[in-house]
């Protein structure tokens, strides 16, 4: 089958169009003929080598954490979606940038009335957004939420979900001044430039701060986020976009200021609580299809643009969600 992958870690130029064997579904798995593949920042990390060296068939790794498409075959003894059903799937072991992908039934749900292009951007992004807000962040109705990397895939989904879960105010930070104008379209009360978000958040909350901060950026942004927490406020960490590496929090600072730091890792949840991912995926597909959860349709591009899309994502130049139309050539 046709796929897009890399044989050595490196910059976007290592991504190439390749031929690899069509994967075979094992017990508890389905084979999906991929219609659309969502693009995530984790695939940039995969390509760079942050998850190890490529070791797939022919020495290639095929990135891709989420797809939509049609069930083509079931693995031995698999009970789940029927052959021919249109589904969306999270792929914890990657493989989405391809004509076919294999997924465990825990992570496969019918798309229902949601168009396949929109559904492709749901299986990684939305369970993460629900997970950081509800499971790690313990969001309660009436609270104020601050979302870093606000205009991206997870960020823009989290803004809408936070509102649907009853947040009273939803603010965000972005890396460039031009993106602050996207606030209303993405469901935010306001977007701030990340470099001086502390003053902006304290001003807009009359000094009280945010109850919940979602932080995939890390480094100085993470440290500063602790200083804008309202009493019993939480910072949820779930990425290191700035490549700052690990740091140590001062527990006495948490104690003396009634603040908390929490973590969320979808790979860990998928291994230890897979049902949680399936529940959030079903919840998101249904809310998006019914319109209960508003969303902006993704940017659809041919997979031949894979290197360019990675370049833009890495440079912080994207907004919302991008998906590959796997069958589109040129």
Ligand X SMILES: NC(=O)c1ccc[n+]([C@@H]2O[C@H](COP(=O)([O-])OP(=O)(O)OC[C@H]3O[C@@H](n4cnc5c(N)ncnc54)[C@H](OP(=O)(O)O)[C@@H]3O)[C@@H](O)[C@H]2O)c1
Residues at the interface with ligand X (CB under 6 A): 40-42, 124-125, 128, 149, 151-155, 174-176, 179, 216-217, 238-239, 241-242, 264-266, 313-314, 316, 318
87 or 191: CB nearest ligand X = 191
C-alpha to C-alpha distance for 160 and 172, rounded to whole angstroms = 12
260 or 318: CB nearest ligand X = 318
Q: How far is the CB of 219 from ligand X (least distance, A)?
A: 9
DSSP states of 46-114: HHHTTT----SGGG-B---SEEEEEEEEE-TT--SSPTT-EEEEE-TT---SBSEEEEEGGGEEE-TTS
Q: How far is the CB of 329 from ligand X (least distance, A)?
A: 25
β pairing state of 322-325 and 29-38: antiparallel
167 or 241: CB nearest ligand X = 241
20 or 313: CB nearest ligand X = 313
Q: Which of 58, 63, 81 is nearest to 71 (CA)?
A: 81
94 or 264: CB nearest ligand X = 264
Pick left, alpha or beta for residue 172 (phi over 0 → left; psi -120 to 50 → alpha; otherwise beta): beta
Q: How far is the CB of 41 from ligand X (least distance, A)?
A: 4
Q: How far is the CB of 157 from ligand X (least distance, A)?
A: 8
49 or 242: CB nearest ligand X = 242
C-alpha to C-alpha distance for 193 and 6, rounded to whole angstroms = 35
Q: How far is the CB of 120 from ligand X (least distance, A)?
A: 13
Q: How far is the CB of 208 from ligand X (least distance, A)?
A: 24
State the residue number with the nearest CB to ligand X: 152
| Residue matched to tokens 């390509």 | 47
3-state secondary structure (DSSP) of residue 173: strand
Q: How far is the CB of 58 from ligand X (least distance, A)?
A: 27
117 or 241: CB nearest ligand X = 241
3-state secondary structure (DSSP) of residue 180: helix
Q: Which of 53, 50, 49, 42 is nearest to 96 (CA)?
A: 42
- Tokens at 8, concatenated: 């050595």
């Amino acid at each position: 089958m046709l796929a897009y992958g890399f044989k050595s870690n490196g910059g976007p130029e290592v991504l190439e169009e390749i031929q690899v064997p069509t994967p075979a579904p094992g017990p508890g798995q389905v084979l999906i003929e991929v219609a659309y593949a969502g693009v995530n920042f984790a695939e940039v990390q995969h390509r760079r080598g942050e998850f190890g060296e490529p070791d797939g068939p022919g020495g290639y790794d095929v990135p891709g954490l989420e797809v939509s498409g049609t069930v083509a075959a079931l693995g031995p003894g698999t009970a789940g979606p029927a052959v021919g059903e249109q589904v969306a799937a999270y792929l914890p072991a990657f493989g989405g940038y391809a004509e076919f992908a294999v997924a465990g039934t825990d992570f496969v749900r019918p798309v229902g009335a949601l168009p396949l292009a929109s559904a492709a951007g749901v299986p990684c992004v939305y369970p993460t957004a629900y997970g950081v807000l509800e499971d790690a962040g313990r969001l309660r109705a009436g609270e104020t939420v601050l979302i870093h990397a606000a205009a991206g895939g997870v960020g823009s989904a989290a803004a809408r979900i936070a509102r649907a879960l009853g947040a009273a105010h939803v603010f965000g930070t972005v890396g460039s001044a031009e993106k602050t104008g996207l606030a209303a379209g993405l469901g935010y009360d306001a977007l701030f430039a990340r470099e001086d978000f502390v003053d902006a958040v304290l001003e807009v909350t009359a000094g009280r701060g945010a109850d919940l901060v979602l932080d995939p950026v890390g480094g100085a942004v993470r440290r500063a986020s602790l200083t804008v927490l309202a009493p019993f406020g939480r910072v949820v960490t779930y990425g290191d976009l700035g490549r700052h590496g690990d740091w140590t929090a001062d527990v006495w600072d948490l104690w003396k200021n009634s603040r908390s730091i929490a973590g969320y890792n979808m790979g860990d949840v998928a291994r230890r609580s897979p049902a949680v991912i399936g529940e959030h995926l079903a919840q998101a597909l249904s809310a998006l299809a019914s319109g209960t959860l508003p969303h902006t349709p993704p940017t659809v591009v041919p997979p031949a643009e894979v290197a360019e899309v990675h370049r833009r994502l890495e440079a912080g130049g994207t907004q919302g969600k991008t998906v590959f139309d796997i069958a589109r050539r040129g």
